[in-house]
Chain A
Amino acid sequence: MSKLSSGPVSSFDSLDGLFDEIDPNGDMSLPSDIKMDRRSFLKVSGVLGAGFVLAFSLMEKANATSSADRPKFNTYIRISPEGSIFIFSKNPEVGQGIKTSMPMIIAEELDADWSDVIVEQSPINEKLFGRQNAGGSRSIASNWDIMRQAGAAARHMLIEAAAIEWCVPANECTTVKSHVLHVRTHQKISYGKLASKAATLPIPPENILKLKDSRDYKILGKRITGVDNHALVTGQPMFGIDKVLPGMLYAVYEKCPAVGGTVDSANLDEIRKLSGVKHVFILEGNGNVMELKPGVAIVATSTWAALQAKRQLKVIWDESSASKDSWSSLVKQALVLKKNPAEKILHEKGSVDIAMQKGEKSLDALYSFHFAAHATLEPQNCTAWYQKGSVEVWAPTQSPGRALTSVANLLGIGDDKVTIHQERAGGGFGRRLVNDPACEAVAISKRINAPVKLQWTREDDMAHDFYRTGGFHSFKGGIEADGKIGFLEDHLITFSHNGEKPVIAGAPRQPSRVFPAQLINNFRLSQSLLPLKTTCGLMRAPESNTTAWAVQSFLHELAVAAGTDHLEFLLELMGKPEWFPPKNQYGLHTGRAANVIKLAAEKAGWAKQRPTGRGLGLAFHFSHAGYFAEVAEVSVSASKRVTVHNVTVAADIGRVINLSGAENQCQGSIIDGLSTMLGLEITMEEGRIQQSNFDTYPLLRMSEAPNVDVHFIQGDSPPTGAGEPALPPLAPAVCNAIYAASAHRVRTLPITKEGFST
């Protein structure tokens, strides 16, 4: 393939760092051993008037074993003498509900009355708190044991304090709703009254702490409403976009519509004369697409004045090194590559070539999927104030720690000169793992030496995303005489910025762990690359969100070819219950997989006959250590109009922490996945993104939203994340249902490409 030219868009390697941040294992799974020496992470203190403070550290690195890797004390439980229980939440809240769910775990073991709990958002300080991010659906699983132990240790110390107060044996005392009780002497005292005394007691050793039996849970697994709900429904300013500083100016920033373009010239003198405009200037960019691209900044006295001036701005771009990407051309090139041998084999087991020769039936099919944008409802923005060599940043970001590093790097100042304030973000979905808006805001503030709020328009947001990559799966599959899968080959055609590595999330990072490689004797995953400059990024359930569609649709094709019911076919594929890899409780367990598949089918009424034109589709996927099977019920009219009536979700994410929050995440993932597959598409021509606002990128609206029922299987497995794994099976479930209803196999997304409408 042709070598890509180097130039202003050559700094894509840093995009890989995004994955390292949220997925250190490289397979969206979790490590099998996430235990930690407890003695080193608990510290008690009693500050005068503050009551009881138990500080502890939540895991940052899954495998932190040496003291150097270990995070400092970064979270605490504080019980005031008045009885309020403060629990620190250190990670960004972007709608995933972490600010409510993590403190619930501590409160449960503490035996707190949830109404006494006040959740405090922690400041951003990587040295103190370790990594602070929202991504990868890992926070709950990684911190489950530690949070429970911290809550139990605090409860133990409060009981000890009461026992001393009452001169009774501690083992006769119990707790209920933020109080210690001694039943025999009818005594009861609040945690608040015990706080100062408890703070003087030693931390109990781990071996005497008894964690609650799950049958006694009063908070975990219940429907707990979000801690910020009241503030949200009364319109309080909580989001990044709401930040206001004294003397603040308002900025917009125009970048080349084709990534890699630089500013040749612009009508700066005309813009400077416009009403409300205070400054207009060119920024060169720092050569890193994740930090500062070149562009023209306009700073004005109000957002509207800045937006008006932006409309008058005329920039002549130097596009000599800019993207010339064309989606229509890439599709044609992929069709050629499909016919050639793959450039590289990523994973092979057994022998596909031998199996291919003796197979009874074989199929081949090309699946193609589109680029997509995150389209967070709060457009990108950031507020910054550069003063005398230091900068303060108010950023709605999923990765504030990374924002700090990026800003320090851009300005060439030490990390200690950068303060990041964590603002609530109006949606993330992976977009806000990149902090380009923060870099732009600080560069503008430094230039004008004043506080500034940078506001991207919706059009900016859509033109300068880090897109979910499109791509192609060219499958070959064989069915043996007994109806089982003889072989499966997946030739993945994806993209590369440098001609060597796939774009981020373009190919699996651990190919041997990608479902269903584990379960098929003769399997081959190979890859070919097409050159691309369009910036790619991570989007909710990265890589899984497209692979699951292609693989689960093709498995259905194989089931149809074998003449086997899809439910039976999937259960047969799962085989006997076992772990892949063995003994890894966060790996794939085929028994748990089979259980969610059976449950989804049962709840959706799989066996019940549907009228003509209406059908059910089933799909399963395993990602983020979560098992999800989904059944879609779909009607297709003679004019190819698709109506999705119901989606049934069966999930095993271990023990559910917040039933309301987890259900909301699953329902939202279904709507998100549906919105993207039904008609959203990012295309590019001459390097320019063709969609600009919601008129050309229309999200799903309420009237198109199906009913979504969510069913959890809750065994004794530890909890895992709920934010992402519900999304991947949705698209194949719907496409398999379209086949059931219409006998039309969808092999291109969005489905509008195949003539369907909604």
Chain B
Amino acid sequence: MTDHHLNINGKPHVVEGVEDSTPLLWILRDALGLLGTKYGCGIGSCGACTIHVDGIPIRSCSFPISAVDGKEIRTIEGLASKDGTLHALQQAWIESDVAQCGYCQAGQLMSAAALLDASPNPSDSDIDDAMQGNYCRCGTYKRIKSAIHLAADSLSGRVGKS
């Protein structure tokens, strides 16, 4: 049982008295009320719990809190700018009408955001590789892929931002 100092979406948080092995997912959801990150399988298989730690997409259901002290954590709640301006991916997701039930989409967006940070102009195969860990039970894969291309085009200025 120790205290942990977390930096989440640019804000400091102190989480007191939790076991080092507690997965970050449950800290976010139960202790901090950041409910956008979802539980799907608990074994890092479905990707619904994807967040960024120092810019790297990780499965928070299987990532212990002790491994993130002092690192920068970004969740779906921190994907848009502080003034509410949406990330190009979020805008593309809305325009492409990607979601059906929507439960997986926070994880999809976080994986996609990490991809575009590393590879601003991804090919279909780059997208397949980066998104391989994210299930969409409703089967919106085709729209996810086209929305990522749309966002990439928007970020690179190939199309005008709406």
Residues of A bordering B, CB below 8 Å: 94-97, 223, 225-226, 228-230, 232-239, 241-242, 244, 250, 275, 302-304, 307, 375-379, 424-429, 455, 457-458, 660-661, 664-665, 667-672, 675, 693-695, 698-703, 705, 707-708
Residues of B within 8 A of A672 (CB): 137-139
Residues of B bordering A, CB below 8 Å: 19, 22-23, 26, 29-31, 33-43, 45-46, 48, 75-77, 79-80, 86, 89-90, 93-95, 97-106, 109, 127-129, 131-132, 134-145
* A427 lies within 8 A of B101 (CB): yes
Residues of A within 8 A of B48 (CB): 377
Q: Nearest chain A CB to B63's CB is how many angstroms away?
A: 13
* A377 lies within 8 A of B43 (CB): no
Residues of B within 8 A of A665 (CB): 100
Residues of B within 8 A of A675 (CB): 139
* B99 lies within 8 A of A226 (CB): yes
Residues of A within 8 A of B131 (CB): 702
- Other-chain contact of B41, A250, A458, A669 (Cβ < 8 Å): A458
Residues of B within 8 A of A378 (CB): 38, 40, 101, 103
Additional 6 contacts, C-beta under 8 A, given A234-B80, A426-B38, A702-B128: A377-B101, A377-B137, A378-B40, A379-B39, A424-B102, A458-B40
Nearest A residue to B43 by beta-carbon distance?
A693
Expressed in whole angstroms, the Cα–Cα distance for A377 and B104 within the complex equals 7
A-B contacts, 19 of them at CB < 8 A, read A233-B90, A234-B90, A239-B103, A275-B19, A307-B42, A377-B38, A377-B46, A377-B103, A378-B103, A425-B101, A427-B103, A668-B138, A670-B139, A671-B138, A693-B45, A694-B135, A700-B139, A703-B132, A708-B142
* B30 lies within 8 A of A242 (CB): no
Interface residues of chain B: helix, strand, loop or mixed (majority)? loop
Residues of B within 8 A of A375 (CB): 137
Expressed in whole angstroms, the Cα–Cα distance for A233 and B89 within the complex equals 9
Known A378-B38, A693-B41; contact A426-B90, beta-carbon cutoff 8 A: no
Known A377-B48, A426-B103; contact A223-B97, beta-carbon cutoff 8 A: yes
Expressed in whole angstroms, the Cα–Cα distance for A458 and B48 within the complex equals 12
Q: Nearest chain B CB to A467's CB is how many angstroms away?
A: 16
Expressed in whole angstroms, the Cα–Cα distance for A586 and B99 within the complex equals 30
* A233 lies within 8 A of B138 (CB): no
Expressed in whole angstroms, the Cα–Cα distance for A560 and B160 within the complex equals 54
Residues of B within 8 A of A708 (CB): 142
Known A228-B102, A377-B101, A702-B128; contact A694-B41, beta-carbon cutoff 8 A: yes
Residues of A within 8 A of B23 (CB): 304
Nearest A residue to B135 by beta-carbon distance?
A699
Q: Nearest chain A CB to B91's CB is how many angstroms away?
A: 8
* B75 lies within 8 A of A668 (CB): no
- Other-chain contact of B137, A232, A376, A703 (Cβ < 8 Å): A376
- Other-chain contact of A664, B22, B38, B127, B143 (Cβ < 8 Å): B143
Nearest A residue to B76 by beta-carbon distance?
A235
Expressed in whole angstroms, the Cα–Cα distance for A651 and B63 within the complex equals 45
- Nearest 6 pairs of A and B residues by beta carbon: A235-B36, A671-B139, A426-B103, A95-B101, A235-B76, A668-B139
* B30 lies within 8 A of A250 (CB): yes
Known A664-B140, A703-B128, A705-B139; contact A302-B100, beta-carbon cutoff 8 A: no
Q: Nearest chain A CB to B7's CB is how many angstroms away?
A: 18
* B144 lies within 8 A of A702 (CB): yes
Known A250-B30, A426-B102; contact A234-B135, beta-carbon cutoff 8 A: no
Known A229-B99, A234-B77, A235-B75; contact A702-B30, beta-carbon cutoff 8 A: no
Expressed in whole angstroms, the Cα–Cα distance for A225 and B103 within the complex equals 17
Residues of A within 8 A of B42 (CB): 307, 457-458, 693
- Other-chain contact of B102, A225, A232, A275, A695 (Cβ < 8 Å): A232
Residues of B within 8 A of A429 (CB): 137
Nearest A residue to B89 by beta-carbon distance?
A233
Expressed in whole angstroms, the Cα–Cα distance for A14 and B34 within the complex equals 39
- Other-chain contact of B35, A242, A275, A664, A693 (Cβ < 8 Å): A242
- Other-chain contact of B94, A225, A455, A667 (Cβ < 8 Å): A225
* B137 lies within 8 A of A234 (CB): no
